[in-house]
Amino acid sequence: MAAANETVELTRHGDVALIVMQNPPVNALGFALREGVMRALDAVARDAALRAVVLAGSARAFSAGADIGEFGLPPRAPSLRDLIAVIEDFDKPVVAALRGIALGGGLELALACHARIAWPDARVGLPEIRLGLLPGAGGTQRLPRLAGVARALEIILSGDMVPAARARQDGIVDALIEGAFPEAALAYAATAVRGPRVRDRDARLAEAKADPDLIARAAAPLLRRARDGLAARACVEAVRAAVTRPFAEGDAEELRLFLERRASPESQAQRHAFFAEREVAKVAGLGPEIAPRPVRRAVVVGAGTMGGGIAMCFADAGIPVTVIEIGAEALERGRARIAANYETSVRRGSLDAAESARRLALIAGALDFAPVAEADIVIEAAFEEMPIKKQVFAELDRHARPGTVLATNTSYLNVDEIAAGTSRPGDVLGMHFFSPANVMKLLEVVRGAATAAPALATALAVGRAIGKVPVVVGVCHGFVGNRMLARRSEQTERLLLEGALPQDVDRALTDFGFRMGPCAMGDLAGLDVGWRIRKAMGLRAPVSDALCEAGRFGQKTGSGYYLYQGREAVPDPDVAALIERVSAAEGITRRGIGQDEILERLIYPMIDEGASILEEGIAARPGDIDVIWIYGYNWPVWRGGPMWYGAQVGLARVRDRLAALAAATGDGQLRPSAALQRAAAGP
Ligand code: 3HC
């Protein structure tokens, strides 16, 4: 047994060397690991008694690729490309033994080996595109030579993981292994001969060489789905170079494109988002000693759209769930809606009929609170009114066992007040899902003043188990996401009153990268919801109110800010006239408003609100706010989230622009807050 260094172990087994990478948790290819493998290879090269090498990782990961954390640092030799060059030209066969994941640079390392064997649980992939990158260590050149050009484009542009069996069919893996590790790998390597290098195997490129349109055809549908068009196009260009140029030139082109993307603001933002998403799991006061309670059975109170969507989340994760409603009719409507949702998935081919039936069978209905006694967690999704919430929680308190987590799906109400009405405020918290609940990944977990750590840990664990990204937030009106959204909505209304039309406002955000602007979004969600709430609270939003008074509730009535032809939104001259009338009635002289001003007025107030949210401790880190906006509100991930964007613009500039806009428009809502002023001034 010998340690090449602290992260790499080299052992000899007869005439086969075993090099094991040990850089937990996922063997990211940081400097120490690269250096260790290089040293081990050097020792093997000098030992004439050794005739073959197995390169392996842990059971969890052969390697998750380049160490993303090193991207901002000065390069340190040996680089991954140096290592790959040494392996590829090694005069003894090197066999990559794949268990767990082999991703990005990890797969590229394996592609440079002379053979790849995989255990059934192995998964390979090139997920670089999700970081705004392309594979940068030969992946775009070697993968097409093994899997063919069309399949390589699919793997590279989707970033999806490919299970071992499929990788075998694709030609990426040479053999599937059932035997024990490392014995089976050593046995395989003992008979291995050093075949041609992957870089020299051009047969699978022939089809694309003969058909110059193949790449464009194969790439077109993948490019349409890509969230970062620049990275996606760079991936395609690099694969094109694999086909049209000799290996060394194609490889150099890949590196050029990779370095360009790595330095791009789009990739920096996505790397920030990657780490921010992992940081949110780190919650103050929740150390490893706080174990989440097991959750085997759930109850959802309320069979409305939200309650139904939440119930589906549990069923999708295999957790039995009972939906409680007060009336049989409402319960039946809810059940029918859930069944219809599953049917749609079956029709679209994303779910098979048997699985859909299995999930439906996990969802029961009840007309009283008795099932609460059996539940480990209850999520209340009843009407958004405090007296109703209090009534429901009194029932929950009466029926639930000690230790059951009692969660409210409120979007705005005070979780502490709801908790105070029970005999067990420590078990009460908020679990704020986003619509449609079975689709959107964000879950705001609202920690009340009295919420106990085990209850919080359970809510987070459940959130992850049902496929959400849970972010812990504190109690305030609207929590993080909706509190910031309110600032944007306020400005949408002001901009329409002052001179912009819905299409102008929306274009500013779609040009920025959002899939939809606030007006189209309002039409989708239904304008009547906010209208009713405003009426109940004695508030006004003159344009939106006027639309609702005209019966224009959005898509569901065929008209709102836009006119709908099917689902297509068309600007409506009647809306322009209506808005002009409302402006006049409010005594406002309309003016042309430029796209830059619209964008600043939609986004900067959100950043301003974010500064207050951070100062008040409602969110723990700027990255938490970014994760909320990326997963809950479709903030374009290549823009990193509102707080990341604010930091790129510079908080001092955001502050100054808000002050200038407030002065120019007379709108006090635009004035920078004290929290933003302090944040902009720096520590
Ligand atoms: N570099 C640095 N750290 C990494 C990493 C990487 N490539 N991959 C994972 N980590 C870290 C995570 O930040 C996390 O750290 P933490 O515990 O301190 O928060 C830890 O490893 C465990 O990761 P997860 O919590 O994400 O664990 P999961 O089991 O849920 O997922 C994973 C594992 C699927 C590997 C996921 O982490 C992942 O997708 N990682 C990124 C993979 C990737 O994008 N690879 C390509 C890198 S770029 C590249 O290789 C360039 C090359 O082409 C030149």
The arithmetic mean of pLDDT across residues 36-65, rounded, is: 97
| Terminal-to-terminal C-alpha distance of the chain | 51
Check residue 2 and give its pLDDT. 67
> Does residue 641 contact residue 276 with C-beta atoms inside 8 Å?
yes
Q: Which of 135-169 are b and which e, b meaning 16 or more Cβ less than 10 Å from the residue's Cβ? A: bbbbbbbbbbbbbbbbbbbbbbbbbebbebeebbe
pLDDT above 70 for 3: no
Q: Is the CB of 87 under 6 A from ligand 1?
A: no
CATH of domain 3-262: 3.90.226.10
Structure tokens at 263: 């330095």
Nearest protein Cα to ligand 1, atom 16: 278
> Does residue 342 contact residue 359 with C-beta atoms inside 8 Å?
yes
Question: Which tens digits make up the pLDDT trace of 569-604?
Answer: 999 999 999 999 999 999 999 999 999 999 999 999
Check residue 30 and give its pLDDT. 97
Give the CA diameter of the chain.
92
* Count of other CB atoms within 10 angstroms of residue 251: 22
Reduced to 3 states (helix: H, G, I; strand: E, B; else coil), residue 142 is helix
Q: Is the CB of 108 under 6 A from ligand 1?
A: yes
Domain boundaries, the chain: 3-262, 298-475
Among 68, 283, 468, name the best residue to mutate to test ligand 1's pocket (greatest count of ligand atoms within 8 A of Cβ): 68
pLDDT above 50 for 14: yes
**How many Å lie between the centroid of ligand 1 and the Cα of residue 66?**
9
Question: Which tens digits make up the pLDDT trace of 452-507?
Answer: 999 999 999 999 999 999 999 999 999 999 999 999 999 999 999 999 999 999 99
DSSP 37-86: HHHHHHHHHH-TT--EEEEE--SSEEE--B-GGGTTSPP-SSPHHHHHHH
Is 108 an active-site residue? yes
Antiparallel, parallel or unpaired: β 61-63 and 16-21: unpaired
Q: From start to end of 566-626, where are the E strands? A: 568-571
CATH for 298-475, among 2.40.50.100, 3.40.50.720, 3.40.640.10, 3.30.365.10?
3.40.50.720
Give the DSSP letter of residue 637. Answer: G
Nearest protein Cα to ligand 1, atom 20: 25
Nearest protein Cα to ligand 1, atom 53: 135
Nearest protein Cα to ligand 1, atom 35: 64
Q: Is the peptide bond before 294 cis (omega within 30 degrees of 0)?
A: no
Q: Which amino acid is at 60?
A: R
Check residue 537 and give its pLDDT. 87
pTM summary value: 0.94
- Residue 1's pLDDT band (cuts 50, 70, 90): very low
Share of the chain above pLDDT 90, in %: 95
The arithmetic mean of pLDDT across residues 194-209, rounded, is: 95
Euclidean distance between CA atoms 489 and 546, whole angstroms: 16
- Check 9, 88, 128, 325 and give the catalytic one: 128
**How many Å lie between the centroid of ligand 1 and the Cα of residue 64?**
6
Q: Which amino acid is at 643?
A: M
Q: Is the CB of 128 under 6 A from ligand 1?
A: yes
Query: Measuring CA to CA, which residue among 509, 22, 104, 460 is closest to residue 271?
Result: 104
Check residue 353 and give its pLDDT. 96
CA distances from residue 450 to 286, 396, 413, 424, 445 in whole angstroms, order as listed: 15, 17, 16, 9, 14
- Helix axis angle for 595-615 and 481-498, nearest 10°, is 150
**How many Å lie between the centroid of ligand 1 and the Cα of residue 68?**
8
Check residue 227 and give its pLDDT. 87
Reduced to 3 states (helix: H, G, I; strand: E, B; else coil), residue 683 is coil
Average of per-residue pLDDT values in the chain: 96
Give the DSSP letter of residue 672. Answer: P
**How many Å lie between the centroid of ligand 1 and the Cα of residue 464?**
17
Q: Is the peptide bond before 25 cis (omega within 30 degrees of 0)?
A: yes
Reduced to 3 states (helix: H, G, I; strand: E, B; else coil), residue 655 is helix
Query: Measuring CA to CA, which residue among 510, 549, 506 is closest to residue 527?
Result: 549
pLDDT above 90 for 529: no
Is 128 an active-site residue? yes
Reduced to 3 states (helix: H, G, I; strand: E, B; else coil), residue 336 is helix
> Does residue 580 contact residue 590 with C-beta atoms inside 8 Å?
yes
Question: Residue 45 burial (CB < 10 Å; 0-12/13-18/19+)?
Answer: middle
Among 7, 21, 23, 26, name the best residue to mutate to test ligand 1's pocket (greatest count of ligand atoms within 8 A of Cβ): 26
Cα radius of gyration (the chain): 28
H/E element, 237: helix 229-244
Looking up tokens 């394996």 gives: 110
Question: Which tens digits make up the pLDDT trace of 148-188?
Answer: 999 999 999 999 999 999 999 999 999 999 999 999 999 99
**How many Å lie between the centroid of ligand 1 and the Cα of residue 500?**
44
> Which atom of ligand 1 is closest in space to residue 68's alpha carbon?
1
Question: Which tens digits make up the pLDDT trace of 276-310?
Answer: 999 999 999 999 999 999 999 999 999 999 999 99
Q: Is the CB of 68 under 6 A from ligand 1?
A: yes
